[in-house]
Structure 1
């Protein structure tokens, strides 16, 4: 297996050199005519590439699921460790802020969805209802109870690290929301946000090996969201920690076997999540050098990636593959939009988004309680890039 013969010190020198060159001679360029022709050529070979356009009408439909599930207490998967029989309580008693949407992390990112929808579509018909729900659920008292739950001895690892990551993504979305009520919501959420940041800072130095699964435990996914939060809030300590640990975990990785993906229950791509994290923590030229060893074929115009096909959308685990299509699309949109030379990835991302997007509106609760979030996140990555 090939290894890049570059030490961390050399990477720093390359990054510094590249930055100096960029500062003096390189500016952001528009997509070239050649890039456009590449997109058109590849799009013509891929089916289902009609771009998903999130209109106000579609947003009105999509927002119904998080609105409904945030106050739906059952069915519920608590994932609870019991210290005694006194811990046997209803979900709403245990988690007054995040009790709906089947499980804690899904409730957290459903709240993220509401904020994201409101930021993009402030004229939604149910905008006031959405704001009232956010204000009620994310009250100071409710968040204090969530903090108490996490501080219990048996709950130190609760929702590690997937739920932690989504809590920071919610905090980031509120932090960047230019609405008067966002100030109050951020202040209310802050004690839990601080606790989760502390949890990351305590846990990551102790983690000797990354977790490379395609489900909740994936280390790169959680670190990516936490890094986004650190950048948005100018938390240099957390940002530096994640950058250092990402390099510890992934810098020497070669030939990621993306052809082995997906596994049957994946909703994350282990290869692409790692790629996305390293894209954020490495300078551009260093990242591109790393990528040539990590996933060399992705640089080729004929790079292909088949969508994940769902056989039964009433099966809560099999429907994970719709989430995989959305999370893959998010990574590919981000890379294609950030750096020149990756325009050929956009049609692949469009196909992944389109394949599963039409199913979100008609999904059963097993999928609908969380897939709206992933569809919205993928769409945001395309729009924002």
Structure 2
């Protein structure tokens, strides 16, 4: 990622950070008295159309300042983050989840991005970032408690290409648990991952993608399992899961998808699919032996997907511009690897 690209991504993030409308709140209302504006419900994460997009928009800004500390945008972004990541606001965000009807709010996609943000702050050797990390603790600890309560009850994985999908959040939470040294959460996530996916074989690649996917459930699964298994076990697991990958036979998974209308909020998901496929393939390749023939297959396809996805990060349409830059930064900034 170049500093010029980073500046463009920062501009997209700042354009949506305080944009309260249009907004998709996703709240469960128990009565007329529960009607509130997005800012009243979420004093920190009210912009970017929805809560999870606001969360990963904040994560993106943290990540970019961490990667480019001397960039021209750094001081301006730091000032904005210091104001937005307030102790009171983050306490209110945590308290929102304590209401019974809100315990499943943003489960688990939004939780995963919030814990990715918590990890980014915790691992940044920067005085100001450590202050933000401490302010973030109430929300971080609340989401960890919700996850550790929910995961043992989750009997089946969710295999789709958008928010409810379970392999992506499991992978993000695993990165978080290892990054902060939470062994209990780490062990729970490994147990769930092995139970859900450990015996999967002959993944039906011809069934992907669906029409509004921004994830490949198959590639997300493999990107999770390379975190769970050691190299030898993962290479054997992948051989059973995608048995002809080394021969460049993986259904539609290796071919970037086209976006017919970037102004359509669902169709633009496919631009995110190109980006997330790319980072998943790069992650999978990184876990294989250097001489494994699947590495070159994955790297060529990842490069094609990356180019196709980056072409639609900035289109002039808020439907994609409120979130796609975060996916681009996750990919180009090598997050998760």
Q: TM-score range by the shorter chain?
A: over 0.9
1:314 aligns to what? 263
Runs (5+) with no aligned partner, structure 1: 1-53
Q: TM-score, normalised by structure 1?
A: 0.83
Larger radius of gyration: 1
2:333 matched to 1:380? yes
2:9 pairs with one of 31, 48, 62:
62
Mapped partners of 1:163, 1:113: distance in 2:
14
1:165 aligns to what? 112
Mapping 1:326-345, distance limit 5 Å: 326-340=275-289, 341=292, 342-345=295-298
Larger RCO (CA under 8 A, 6+ residues apart): 1
Runs (5+) with no aligned partner, structure 2: none
1:295 pairs with one of 242, 247, 257:
242
1:86 pairs with one of 22, 33, 39:
33
Mapped partners of 1:207, 1:302: distance in 2:
33
1:176 aligns to what? 123
Mapping 1:137-152, distance limit 5 Å: 137-152=84-99
Counterpart contact for 2:235–2:288, Cα < 8 Å? no
Q: Tell me whether 231-240 or 299-308 shows the greater mean CA deviation.
A: 299-308
Residue 65 of structure 1 aligns to a residue in which SS?
helix
2:308 aligns to what? 355
Query: CA-to-partner distance for each residue in 1:33-82, whole Å, 9 max, x for gaps?
Result: xxxxxxxxxxxxxxxxxxxxx21122111210111211111110000101
Q: TM-score, normalised by structure 2?
A: 0.95
Mapped partners of 2:89, 2:205: distance in 1:
42
Query: CA-to-partner distance for each residue in 1:219-255, whole Å, 9 max, x for gaps?
Result: 1111010000001011100000000010111111111
Residue 296 of structure 1 aligns to a residue in which SS?
coil
Mapping 1:143-222, distance limit 5 Å: 143-222=90-169
Mapped partners of 1:308, 1:361: distance in 2:
17
Mapped partners of 1:101, 1:165: distance in 2:
17
Q: Structure 1 segments of 4 or more deviating over 6 A?
A: none
